[in-house]
Amino acid sequence: MASLALGAILAVLASLIIAANTLVAIALLCLILKSGSKGLYFVFNLAVADAMVGFTVVGLAKDELSQPLNSSQIFCALRMAFVTSSSAASILSLILVACDRHLSVRKPFHYVQLVTGLRVGVRLVVLWLVAGIVGFLPVLTPCFQKISTHKKCSFFEVFHPVYMLTIFCVGFFPALFLFFYLYCDMLKIASVHVQRIRQVEHAGLAGGSRPSRTASDMKAMRTVAVLIGCFTVSWLPFFVASIVQTVCSECLPYRVIESWLWLLGLCNSLLNPLLYSYWQKDVRLQLSQLAAGVKRRILLLLGNGHRFPGRAAKSLPTVSCPRLQN
């Protein structure tokens, strides 16, 4: 019964993740075509990575609902590799978004020269290469796999504890520290900007560009703060409990970590598009425009194709040319 409930939750969560990230990705793609902003590519990549997380969850939900028999070791390792690589791509995309917002605050006048199309493309290629290596390393290196006779295909039954500890300690916690460093540095820069603005206003030389610069800094800080908060709340319990489970297998319930804490981490892929579309006015307006366009097309299709039964279209009476002359 618990397996069926978990499978239903995973199925609903996967559907919401795919739908939300697909809508946000379409809106971001429209914004990129309109404005040509290079920084939006990182957010677009985040939506794509989160959508891939949703697709990988579909297979896990199917396993929970159907309760399959023992699967082969290589098949289970491949499935967990796809899950791990897509989750790693999502986390790395969050880091790139935070670094991009930090750069826009620290180097506002050189941002356009620093963030070029070539550099954005190189960073995204490196991101997916690193995510693929992280996820598929146990498949390519059998020593990182663990032979298990357990029915369920899961991380702890496939990946070796050494690999798990390496990923957790080398990947997650440095990313978390980098998040907090970027945010603290942005706070320091914003406080310096506020002090300079007050000095200029006190001298009676305030211009129109500095307040907008401060508003832009606060917007970038708010975005990074939201991403950090959601990332920490979603993934920190799972990674801490997983380290404890890897070191001491009898200390924590295995089912709670494998199912429910990991489920909380997956919710981050749903929170990212919802919160980003809520906090970013451009994305929110683009989504409303897309919804209005879809609604308009549906109404046009219904208006052109709707026919009332028993009523034929009435033709207009013909008028001859002499009658028109009279």
Note the pLDDT tens digit of each residue in 152-187: 677 777 888 788 888 878 888 888 888 888 888 887
In this prediction the pTM is 0.81
Note the pLDDT tens digit of each residue in 254-266: 677 777 888 888 8
d(CA 67, CA 6): 11
pLDDT at position 45 is 94
| DSSP code at position 171 | I
| DSSP code at position 142 | G
CATH number for the segment(s) 1-203+219-283: 1.20.1070.10
Contact in structure between 234 and 275 (CB atoms under 8 Å): no
d(CA 67, CA 266): 21
Q: Bridge-partner residues for 159, per DSSP?
A: 145
Contact in structure between 90 and 46 (CB atoms under 8 Å): yes
Q: pLDDT band at residue 311, thresholds of 50, 70 and 90? A: very low
| Backbone φ and ψ of 266, nearest 5° | -65, -30
228, 217, 209: which is closest to 191 by C-alpha? Answer: 217
User: Cα–chain-centroid distance for residue 201?
Assistant: 40
Residue 204 has pLDDT above 80, yes or no: no
d(CA 158, CA 155): 5
d(CA 252, CA 89): 28
Note the pLDDT tens digit of each residue in 85-135: 998 999 899 899 889 888 888 888 888 888 888 999 999 999 999 999 998
Contact in structure between 80 and 153 (CB atoms under 8 Å): yes
In sequence order, what are the residues at sequence separation of 6 or more whose Cβ sits closer than 8 angstroms to the Cβ of residue 200? 206, 207, 210
d(CA 17, CA 73): 28
**Per-domain residue ranges for the chain?**
1-203+219-283
Note the pLDDT tens digit of each residue in 123-148: 999 999 999 999 898 888 878 887 66
241, 283, 260, 279: which is closest to 30 by C-alpha? Answer: 283
Contact in structure between 266 and 13 (CB atoms under 8 Å): yes
168, 149, 169: which is closest to 157 by C-alpha? Answer: 149
In sequence order, what are the residues at sequence separation of 6 or more whose Cβ sits closer than 8 angstroms to the Cβ of residue 267? 13, 234
